[in-house]
Structure 1
C-alpha cells in the first residue's frame, strides 16, 4: 500500500516540481529517499512498480540537474542594447533605441480602498504583481494611464515637465470612471521618487529621455458591472531614444473614413485605457499601406478632423494656427496646451475650432503634438486617394515651436512659466 500511494501521488507530482524548479531541493531529497527505500517483498507487482518509478526518478533528477538551454531572442539587437543598459548604459547607442520597453530598476505602487485614503506607497523592484482575475480593470476596462518624461540637462541634472497637469488629467479621468485618484501632491511625490530611483536610466542630454507611465486601475475584485472596491496607482519607467527628430521624422498620415476613435458622451476626452485598442486596426491597416499613422474624423458628421491615434493635430495657414477644440472627444494633451501658449507668445493667432478636412488639405503646415512625438511635422496627408504635401524642415513654424518647447524642457530656454521641476 505504501508503494502504491507513492507511485500514484509521487509519479504525478514529482515531474511537475522538477520541471518547474519549485522547491527543487526538497523534491530532490524526497527522490533520493525513494531511491534508497527497500524493496517491498509481499508481491511482485509493487516491486515492479517501484522499480519503474525509481527509473523515472533517476531520469528526472538528471534532467533537473542539467543546464537549461539558452534563451533565443528574435531581436538580437534589442537584447544587446538591454545588456548594455543593465551594465551601466554608458556605451548604449541611443540613436537605435526607439519607443520600446527597457525595464528599469524600480517602480512605485500604492493602493486605496474606495472612500478611504491611499497608502503611503513604496518603491519595489520592477516586475509582475498579483491582481484578481475578477478585477474591474481586467473585466470592464476600468483604468487610466498617463505619459511623462524625465529630461537630462546639459549640466547633468534631471527635470520633469508640468507634472501637476498629468495629475489633474488623471483626477478628471478618475471622476469619469468612478475611481479614486491620488491627490496632486501624492502624484508628484510618486513621480519624483520613481524618477530619482531610476536616475541612472535617464539618457545623456540630447540622446533621449526616461519615459514614465503612471497607471490608475480598478484592481479590486467585482463580478457585476460596477466600479472596483479598490484602486491601485503605480508608475513604471523605461528609457527611450529620440524617435521623432525635428526635421527628419515627418509623418505621412491617412485620414480614416470608416472607423472612429471617439464619440460624443464617450471617453475620448480622458486617457482611458479603453481608447487605445480600438485604434489598432486602423493604424495597422495604414502602416501596411505605407503611412505612419491615421487621422480620425468626428463621429457626428465625418467632416472634421479630431486627432491621430495618440497625438493632437494642428494646422497652420498664414499666421493662424488652428486645432480642434476640447469637447469631450479629443484628449486634452499637455503638450497641446503648452504649444498653444508658446504659439501665442510667439505672436501667432491661435484658434481652437472645428477644423474641416478642406482646411487641412489647404494648410501651409500640419503638425502633431504629444508626449512621445513632442512636436512633429506632417509631410503629407492622404484623403480618399488625394495626397497633399506640406512644408517640413528647420524653416517651419513647427520647428520653431518644437525648439522652444524642448529648450524649456531641457533647461536651454529660461522657464518663465514655472513649468519644469528639477529633481536633483
Structure 2
C-alpha cells in the first residue's frame, strides 16, 4: 500500500542532503508531522466532484492525531462511484457527516458542476498605463462598466488566472501556491504589454475574495472554490495599441468536477487545428488562447470524446497539451511531459507534480514527445487547476485507439494522493506550498 509517510520520509531525506527542497521547508514540521512520521499512516481517497479528498490517520487510532481529518471512511455520493471508473477505488456507502462550525451558503453541494455560482463579493483594482495599481476595493458581485472601445473587447488584450481555495476537515481554508499564479500573470502581462498587480497585491486580492465569500467554500469532500483573477485593457482607445487603462477583477465560485463525464478521460489527437504557434501567446494565459479551441473541442465531443490533445504547429509530430491541461506519459516508471518552450502553458499543477514525483524518486523528463510514443505508453494523465490529476483511459490517433493503465497503484494515483492531500490539509505541507487564511 502507498503511504503518505513514504513521501514525507523521502522529502525529509532529500532535505537533509541539502537539496533545493530544503529551503522550502521553513520549519513546517509540526506535532502532526512528527506523529505522521512516527507512526504508519494510511491514505484514504474519496473521489467527490471529480477530486479525491485524502485523509491521513494515525494507525494507533489516536483521535485528531493527524490534522483532525475525521473518520477514515469514504462518504458516498453520486461522484464517489467515479472513483471506480477513474482509479478503481471502491466507494463506501456508510460515510459519516462532518461537523459544520460555520454558516454555509444555501447550495446543493452534492450537485456542484464546473459552472458559475454567483457569490457575494468581487474585488476590483484599476491603474493607468505606465502606473502602478492602486489599492482595490470589495464590491458586491455583479456587472462591471466597460468602455466599448476597450482593449479587451476590441483587440483581446486580457489575461486570466485560475486557482482554488480548499476547506479542511477542521474548517481551515487553504490556498495553493497563489504567488505562482501572481508571477505567471506578471509574465503574461509583460508579453501582452499590460500593467500588472504586484505579487503582494495579487495574493492580497485572492485572500480578500476568499475571506469575504468563505461561506461559499464547499464543505470538505464536496468541492472547492475556484478563484478567477482577470486582467484587462479597459480604456477609451480605438487604435491598435496597448490600452491606456487597466482593470484587475477577482471573483470566485464553488465548483465540482471540471469534465461533465466523470472518471478517466478519452482523448482524441487533433490533427487539423493547432492551439499555439512559436512566438505566439501559448505560454501565457491570454484570453485569446481559449476561443480558438472551441471548434475542435465541439467536434471531438460530438464524436464522444472528452477532450482533444493538440500537436505542435510546426511539424504536427509532437504532443503539446490538452485544451486546458498539461499531459504526462509514463513508461517503465519514467515520467515524461512536453517542455514549456513558449507554446505550452507552464501549469502550476504541472510544476507541483514534477516536484512531488522527483521527491518520490521517479525519473522525470521534460522533453519533446512524438505522438507515436502514445502507442507504447503504459499510463497517461492530465494535470491542471481545474482537472487536478486526471487519468486518461484512452487516446485515439488516426482512428487507432490506445488504452492505458489506471487504478490503484498507478503513478498518477500516487501523485494525486500526495498533491490533494497537501491541498486539503490532510498531509502536512512540508513543501511550503499552502497559504492559510486568517
C-alpha separation in 1, matches of 2:110 and 2:377: 32
* 1:243 positional shift: 4.6
Matches within 5 A, 1:268-283: 268-283=282-297
* 1:132 positional shift: 0.3
| Runs of at least 5 residues in structure 1 that lack an aligned partner in the other structure | 1-87
Counterpart check, 1:284 vs 2:333: no
C-alpha separation in 1, matches of 2:234 and 2:105: 38
* 1:395 positional shift: 2.6
C-alpha separation in 1, matches of 2:144 and 2:267: 38
Show CA shifts across 1:373-414 (max 9, x none).
Answer: 000000000001000000112231111101100000011111
Equivalent residue in structure 2 for 1:324, among 326, 331, 338: 338
Aligned-partner SS, 2:297: helix
Range with bigger deviation, 90-99 or 205-214: 90-99
Show CA shifts across 1:337-393 (max 9, x none).
Answer: 000000001111000000001112210000000000000000000001000000112
Matches within 5 A, 1:110-121: 110-121=125-136
Equivalent pair of 2:325/2:387 in contact (CA under 8 Å): yes
Equivalent residue in structure 1 for 2:362, among 348, 357, 363: 348
Counterpart check, 1:249 vs 2:263: yes
Equivalent pair of 2:105/2:216 in contact (CA under 8 Å): no
Equivalent residue in structure 1 for 2:149, among 134, 137, 150: 134
Counterpart check, 1:226 vs 2:241: yes
C-alpha separation in 1, matches of 2:406 and 2:248: 40
Equivalent residue in structure 1 for 2:168, among 145, 153, 159: 153
* 1:94 positional shift: 2.6
The two structures, once aligned, show a CA RMSD in angstroms of 1.4
Aligned residue-pair number: 336
Show CA shifts across 1:243-290 (max 9, x none).
Answer: 569x96100000000000000000000000000000000000000000
Counterpart check, 1:170 vs 2:175: no
Tell me the equivalent position of 1:422: 436
Tell me the equivalent position of 2:281: 267
Equivalent pair of 2:269/2:310 in contact (CA under 8 Å): yes
C-alpha separation in 2, matches of 1:365 and 1:102: 35
Tell me the equivalent position of 2:66: none
Equivalent pair of 1:95/1:242 in contact (CA under 8 Å): no
C-alpha separation in 2, matches of 1:91 and 1:348: 44
Matches within 5 A, 1:70-85: none
C-alpha separation in 2, matches of 1:146 and 1:90: 25
Aligned-partner SS, 2:293: helix
Tell me the equivalent position of 1:299: 313
C-alpha separation in 1, matches of 2:318 and 2:419: 27
C-alpha separation in 1, matches of 2:253 and 2:241: 33
| More RCO (CA 8 Å, sep 6+) | 2
Counterpart check, 1:214 vs 2:229: yes
Show CA shifts across 1:295-320 (max 9, x none).
Answer: 00000110000000010000000110
Structure with bigger helix share is 1
Aligned-partner SS, 2:292: helix
TM-score (norm 1): 0.78
* 1:118 positional shift: 1.1
Aligned-partner SS, 1:259: coil
C-alpha separation in 1, matches of 2:413 and 2:249: 34
Who wins on radius of gyration, i.e. which is larger? 1
Equivalent residue in structure 2 for 1:388, among 388, 397, 402: 402
C-alpha separation in 2, matches of 1:277 and 1:351: 31
